[in-house]
Structure 1
Amino acid sequence: MNFNLQNLLRENIKNLTPYSSARDEFQGEASVYLDANENAYGSPLEDNYNRYPDPLQLEVKKKITAIKGVPPRNIFLGNGSDEAIDILFRSFCRPGIDNVVLVPPTYGMYQVSANINDVAVKKVPLTPEYQLNLEGIAEAIDANTKLIFICSPNNPTGNSINREDVETLLANFNGIVVVDEAYINYSRQKSFIQELTEYGNLVVLQTLSKAWGLAGLRIGMAFASEEIIEVFNRVKPPYNINEASQKLALQALDNIDQVNQWIKETLKERDKLVLGLKNFSFVIDIFPSDANFILVKTASPKAVYQFLVEKGIIVRDRSKVELCEGCLRITIGTPIENEQLLNSLKNFQA
């Protein structure tokens, strides 16, 4: 493989002079800040938010480094993983010219971002076992293919993608392979962040929204080579992670023991929920999951969905998604919520 990041970058991004904020131009400590046109009197809130936040979120990245073992220079923090996905399209894909490969069923924002950026999508469906069709992907790739998105554990199927297959793509594709690991904390598979030094074309996405329980803060993470992270930082808005989110993330990242306990509880509840659902005649199949949700195939998905809505229980109807016909996606709740779901389904008439 002959991977060269500069050959992938759009010309306008190569030539881009990023916005230089006041906090970029001065980094350090001072007693009087008169450089950023902030309100010097403070804010009406108990915590002062009158100053702009650190544009590179260095304190948050240091704590992530302590947990993940990846240096800050290899970390990008975004307004959810969706910002990182969008920056990949804006940085590497020329509108109306380049294309990306998606492997449905998969996370829907890859397609949405492609559409917003006027980038063609080549779809290579997963196999019936929800694994990569490597031959189909190889046939789909052409000279203008810039990105391949792999979600593992996959959403909405819940399974992990075979590691060797992803490594085959990384070793043979001259573009960027994006491995979205939003649910990696629930998986038995090890993260691909350990492979960053081996593959210069690897971008790993993770998030604080799932296992860390910070969905409301919107903090996504991208791990990649220093060269790729420099591109992210050049393209992103100057203050993309607000001060409140940074402060709360710093507090949360000190509580890894609590998060690990929640993960264990979730996995235990996942097993219990699977066993309970297998007792219902309208449940045809429950697919293996490495995530905090399960994909359940039923004889009448829309009827089950509507029945649960009337009981005040909301699941996700995925029955119209390719290779997910008849399926509902059910997030693992608390023990009480899971029991409520099972008790309600006892009254469902197929």
Structure 2
Amino acid sequence: MSVLDLARPDIRAITPYSSARMEAQGGTVLLNANESARSPNVPGGEGLNRYPDPQPRGLVETLADLYGSTSERLLVTRGSDEAIDLLVRAFCQAGQDSIAISPPTFGMYAVCARVQAAGVIESPLDASGKLDPDALLAAVTDTTKLVFVCSPNNPTGNLVELATIERLARELQGRTLLVVDEAYLEFSGTRSAASLIDDFDNIAVLRTLSKAWSLAGARVGTLIARAEVVALLRRIIPPYPLPSPCVDAALAALSYEGRRVQRHHVHELLNERARMARALATQPGVREVLPSHANFLAVRFDDAAGTYRRLLAAGVVVRDITRYPGLGDALRITIGTGNENDRVLAVLGAGA
């Protein structure tokens, strides 16, 4: 059985939109896309009168090298959000199919499913905050087309071991596509689930330049999967997903110098994460600092709502995650610069 047998038959049969850039390349007089003949008179506007490449070759090849994959297995998207939406639309028939998630986790999985009128099956993390593979597998039904696993998980920061992901892929083979969201993987020091794609055609991996590569504003995400899955999603992705300035920013960040700076930033963040985990645990009103493999810490408080208001009054914005199941007393604190982190500790200490 091919993994494409899990996809919607109408998507497999659809005739994709063929953009002007896709149909003809290599010319010097470009009169096929109804673009302006002149660049705009704005800073950095040279060339912005032209549509960008649908899948910029240089960026795709650079990302393939970065993630240890190949160009035909990569789809570049507007952040991971677009990849999630494409997967749900391609695999879930409205009113019939479902996805499975393990809350508390990233909210866009469920949002994209509900927009598509697909069901959402929940298999919560266990009492220790870890994914329970037995419970997740038991929750999957005949209509479940996608299983989302976030590792490291947002908003808890816990890691799902690669052996667990391999087990899920094996037991779901022929039944469901396993989507592993690795937005925070660079902060964990662990191997990517993309290493399993040779063995399992039912794995798709999400990566992003938003976190460890400091490009949240550029919105550059990557989906890594078997070539046939990438080809299917290319049928329904909008024709020009990445603006040219975003592509240029990504290539600069992924240059030799950019990679040197990125390694320094990640090293600095890991040191600050360890320092903050130790310091937060000693602050008044803190119940627990959850272990984290990401660039944030989920922290339980005696009075999460009051702590949130106190931080906000001091100009410090953290994430209120009390609405998530099992996190009714928690706030998520992103690791900032040393000075920003000191500000958090000062506010919390002043509330004693």
Q: If the length of structure 2 is used for normalisation, what is the TM-score?
A: 0.96
Work out whether residues 304 and 329 of structure 2, in 8 Å CA contact, stay in contact via their aligned partners in 1.
yes
Q: How does 1:224-235 map to 2 (within 5 A)?
A: 224-235=225-236
- Shift in Å at residue 320 of structure 1? 2.4
Deviations along 1:77-103, one digit per CA (max 9) or x if unpaired, are: 111111000001110000000011110
For 2:29, the equivalent position in structure 1 comes to 32
For 1:276, the equivalent position in structure 2 comes to 279
- Shift in Å at residue 118 of structure 1? 0.3
Residue in structure 2 matching 1:257, options 234, 251, 260: 260
For 1:44, the equivalent position in structure 2 comes to 41
Give, in whole Å, the separation in 1 of the partners of 2:347 and 2:125.
33
Work out whether residues 152 and 160 of structure 1, in 8 Å CA contact, stay in contact via their aligned partners in 2.
yes
Q: What amino acid does structure 1 have at the position aligned with 2:296?
A: F
For 1:127, the equivalent position in structure 2 comes to 126
Give, in whole Å, the separation in 2 of the partners of 1:227 and 1:11.
14
Q: What amino acid does structure 1 have at the position aligned with 2:177?
A: I
Q: How does 1:49-128 map to 2 (within 5 A)?
A: 49-128=48-127
For 2:197, the equivalent position in structure 1 comes to 196
**Paired residue secondary structure (1:82):** helix
Residue in structure 1 matching 2:298, options 280, 284, 295: 295
Q: If the length of structure 1 is used for normalisation, what is the TM-score?
A: 0.96
**Paired residue secondary structure (1:150):** strand
For 1:22, the equivalent position in structure 2 comes to 20
Give, in whole Å, the separation in 1 of the partners of 2:118 and 2:2.
21
Q: How does 1:131-210 map to 2 (within 5 A)?
A: 131-173=130-172, 174-210=175-211
Work out whether residues 101 and 148 of structure 1, in 8 Å CA contact, stay in contact via their aligned partners in 2.
yes
Work out whether residues 4 and 229 of structure 2, in 8 Å CA contact, stay in contact via their aligned partners in 1.
no
Deviations along 1:203-222, one digit per CA (max 9) or x if unpaired, are: 00010100100000111111
Give, in whole Å, the separation in 2 of the partners of 1:62 and 1:163.
25
- Shift in Å at residue 236 of structure 1? 0.2
For 1:218, the equivalent position in structure 2 comes to 219
Deviations along 1:154-193, one digit per CA (max 9) or x if unpaired, are: 0000010122222111001121000000000000321111
Q: What amino acid does structure 2 have at the position aligned with 1:271?
A: A
**Paired residue secondary structure (1:333):** coil
Deviations along 1:290-336, one digit per CA (max 9) or x if unpaired, are: 00000111111001000000000011111221121211110000001
Work out whether residues 151 and 180 of structure 2, in 8 Å CA contact, stay in contact via their aligned partners in 1.
yes
Work out whether residues 289 and 299 of structure 2, in 8 Å CA contact, stay in contact via their aligned partners in 1.
yes
**Paired residue secondary structure (2:134):** helix
Give, in whole Å, the separation in 2 of the partners of 1:66 and 1:205.
15
Q: Give the unaligned 5+ runs of structure 1.
A: none
- Shift in Å at residue 48 of structure 1? 2.1
- Shift in Å at residue 40 of structure 1? 1.2
Q: 1:134 to 1:68 in 2, by over 3 A?
A: closer
Deviations along 1:218-266, one digit per CA (max 9) or x if unpaired, are: 1111100001000111110111111111111111111111001100000
Work out whether residues 132 and 165 of structure 1, in 8 Å CA contact, stay in contact via their aligned partners in 2.
no
- Shift in Å at residue 275 of structure 1? 1.5
Give, in whole Å, the separation in 2 of the partners of 1:345 and 1:139.
42
**Paired residue secondary structure (1:19):** coil
**Paired residue secondary structure (1:346):** helix
Could you tell me the percent identity over the aligned residues? 37
For 2:348, the equivalent position in structure 1 comes to 345
Aligned length: 346
Give, in whole Å, the separation in 1 of the partners of 2:237 and 2:204.
16
Give, in whole Å, the separation in 2 of the partners of 1:225 and 1:250.
24
Superposition CA RMSD, Å: 1.1
Q: What amino acid does structure 2 have at the position aligned with 1:44?
A: N
**Paired residue secondary structure (1:66):** helix
